Amino acid sequence: MAKPNHWLVKQEPEAYPFSQLVKDGKTDWTGVRNFQARNNLRAMKKGDFVLYYHSVKDPAVVGISVVGKEHFPDPTATEGDWSSVELKPLKSLVEPVPLTAIKAAKSLAQIALIRQSRLSVMPLTAGEFNTILKLGKTSL
């Protein structure tokens, strides 16, 4: 079996906080209307690890989820070829990792979160993923 890939998804906590994902037990990640983000959703495989980032207000990585179901047509799309995946929560980070800490970490200088700040679904290297977990005092 291939090693899991690593991803980061962004969501405004007012719209769907990580705590709601934990409460729900799973969610379909719908509403992505950016071609690059859509292609990233399509590249996700069952079992891949996904960092959950609260954007806008107090931006920070707050949780870890896993892909429960690979891409399928987004049921919220009324037109176009859009995709969704199912995410399941794994755990909250012991300490949220704010955007300021991510920007301050030299090893994260090339992360898409900084370089493409408007992208809502992005790949991470295993090293980037593990660095963020370490900053959050969290292990898998």
Taking only the tens place, the pLDDT of each residue in 73-114 is 999 999 999 999 999 999 999 999 999 999 999 999 999 999
Report the domain count for the chain.
1
Domain around 15: 6-135
Is 81 within a domain?
A: yes
Is 114 within a domain?
A: yes
* Confidence at residue 2, expressed as pLDDT on a 0 to 100 scale: 64
Beta carbons within 10 angstroms of residue 124's beta carbon:
21
- Asked whether the whole model's pTM tops 0.85, one would answer yes
Is 1 within a domain?
A: no
Distance in angstroms (rounded) separating the CA atoms of residues 121 and 38: 8
pLDDT digits (tens, 9 = 90+) for 41-53: 999 999 999 999 9
Residue 129 sits in a domain whose CATH number is 3.10.590.10
Whether 52 and 64 have beta carbons less than 8 Å apart is answered as yes
Is 140 within a domain?
A: no
The owner of tokens 């960092």 is: 51
Residues linked to residue 85 through DSSP beta bridges, in sequence order? 29
